[in-house]
A and B are shown apart, each in its own frame.
Chain A
């Protein structure tokens, strides 16, 4: 094979298979991928710098907006970090409510992903069915928090809303429905030729590679590695709630489907248990505005895997440094490994296989790339440009 026969295929930032802008440069030989270079940053909003400018209270809302799918995971991680610095104990009831919302979020995120996976292999009927049924969990989230996307449940020292006993039967009803449907989908997925042909032995990630490349979450567990922050480094009330870690030895895209389906069923059971065993009491404790100097590392099992935040405080009301590493970034090296040796036609489903969330991943600095121009995202400068353009016309 000579290098001369190699063709470079740019993939993204705008591509039908990507729901968010990101760029991958594929080197292909015939139809086989030989090399892949990721270029991220198209959703870069400068959130880490922005954290340093805002107070700890304002930062709750900023953390929530790192991602639109796992918004609760980010606020849980953020509030935990600050609580650790403040030496605050979260009331038991609040810890249970955090688990319930986190698991509802996991169900909605995994259902969303299953739909996208179905869409990427061209099975749009399944996609429509999955997303219709996903509405059940979205309704529950709306019932609990009043919102479908940013639940705004967490605050430093506890949670902001109660889960009232009147709505529990409604939640249980929805969970029963979701359980029935998920079991049905698992049956369909295991026997449906369209799914099997497009996902079995596609995008293989061997366990040793997964560990070497520091993969996280369902991507890692689908390679047979039993690793879950909820069990290994328990937070909220996860040390009191029994659950199984779902793994699969297939190491391919199909395994990633099975792991996520299994996790939905586990989450349903965890929510049932948490609703049953929820202690009574306060929802939050009051905390001071300023945080004494110190540092903390906070970890959460987000729907896509290990999420880690690092905070350094300096005694003021604003953090000195805030670092976010979302699970998608951790899975990119593993993703590149999976893609090598695969067919071009399988790129979309392999990419989708890690459940990428690019908004999460690109958060640091403050420039946006559109039309090859840098634009600072503040209103005044934006107006300046608009005025200038108008004058030119």
Chain B
């Protein structure tokens, strides 16, 4: 049995119906799609079986929500992408910084770029965007095209 299959079997046994889908597209890659409420439980479980390294958190604007993908690595080798979906209006998810402290900047990045609220995060102040950046404008969301963002900023600057 491959290591990847063993991990997926273990996950399925532990998280059961909280897993919506799981696949192994190639060697050393796993994509798992879980229910939103199972985030902390899954991260805790994965950390216990060796996924201690969080590579990053990716946000993706999909039509009916925002997907968060937690990329976790086992001994630097197997990269597991744990995916969950949050609502577009008022997206919120608990922070995982209490389980993996290394997530602190990645959560802030997603917070700024997609407007996802990480509940319980110690500090969600601006990290990347300027202080004067308009509130509630999350630049990596699809509805904000470059033209839209440009207009927005120049309008403010010209005082129109």
**Residues of chain A having any CB pair with chain B under 8 Å:** 37-41, 44, 46, 48-49, 53, 84, 211-215, 227-229, 232-233, 295-297, 299, 306, 308, 310, 312, 320-321, 323, 325, 329-330, 332-334, 362, 364-367, 369, 372-374, 376, 378, 381
Partner of A365, one of B31, B58, B77, B129: B129
Assess whether B140 is in contact with A306, with CB atoms less than 8 Å apart. Answer: no
**B residues less than 8 Å from A214 (CB atoms):** 53-55, 100, 102-103
Complex: chain A residue closest to B75, CB-CB = A232
Assess whether A233 is in contact with B105, with CB atoms less than 8 Å apart. Answer: no
- With A214-B102, A333-B102 as given contacts, are A232 and B130 in contact (CB-CB < 8 Å)? no
Q: Is there a chain A Cβ closer than 8 Å to B153's Cβ?
A: yes
Q: Is there a chain A Cβ closer than 8 Å to B128's Cβ?
A: yes
Assess whether A321 is in contact with B150, with CB atoms less than 8 Å apart. Answer: no
| Contact flags B74-117 to A (C-beta < 8 A → 1, else 0) | 01111101000000000000000000111111100100010000
Assess whether B76 is in contact with A306, with CB atoms less than 8 Å apart. Answer: yes
Assess whether A374 is in contact with B101, with CB atoms less than 8 Å apart. Answer: no
**A residues less than 8 Å from B79 (CB atoms):** 233, 297, 299, 308
Q: Is the interface of B mostly helix, strand, loop or mixed?
A: mixed
Q: How large is the interface on B (under 10, 10 to 19, 20 to 34, 35 or more residues)?
A: 35 or more
Assess whether A40 is in contact with B128, with CB atoms less than 8 Å apart. Answer: yes
Partner of A364, one of B56, B81, B140: B140
- With A232-B76, A233-B79, A299-B79 as given contacts, are A364 and B157 in contact (CB-CB < 8 Å)? no
Complex: chain B residue closest to A84, CB-CB = B26
**A residues less than 8 Å from B25 (CB atoms):** 296
7 additional contacts (CB under 8 A) given A306-B73, A329-B56, A374-B133: A233-B28, A308-B55, A333-B101, A364-B109, A365-B129, A373-B157, A374-B132
Q: Is there a chain A Cβ closer than 8 Å to B146's Cβ?
A: yes
Assess whether B55 is in contact with A365, with CB atoms less than 8 Å apart. Answer: no
Assess whether B55 is in contact with A333, with CB atoms less than 8 Å apart. Answer: no
Per the bound structure, the CA–CA distance linking A332 and B31 in Å amounts to: 27
Complex: chain B residue closest to A369, CB-CB = B130
Q: How far is the CB of B18 from chain A (nearest CB, A)?
A: 21
Q: Is there a chain A Cβ closer than 8 Å to B127's Cβ?
A: yes
Per the bound structure, the CA–CA distance linking A367 and B105 in Å amounts to: 19
Per the bound structure, the CA–CA distance linking A175 and B119 in Å amounts to: 53
- With A364-B139, A381-B150 as given contacts, are A310 and B58 in contact (CB-CB < 8 Å)? yes
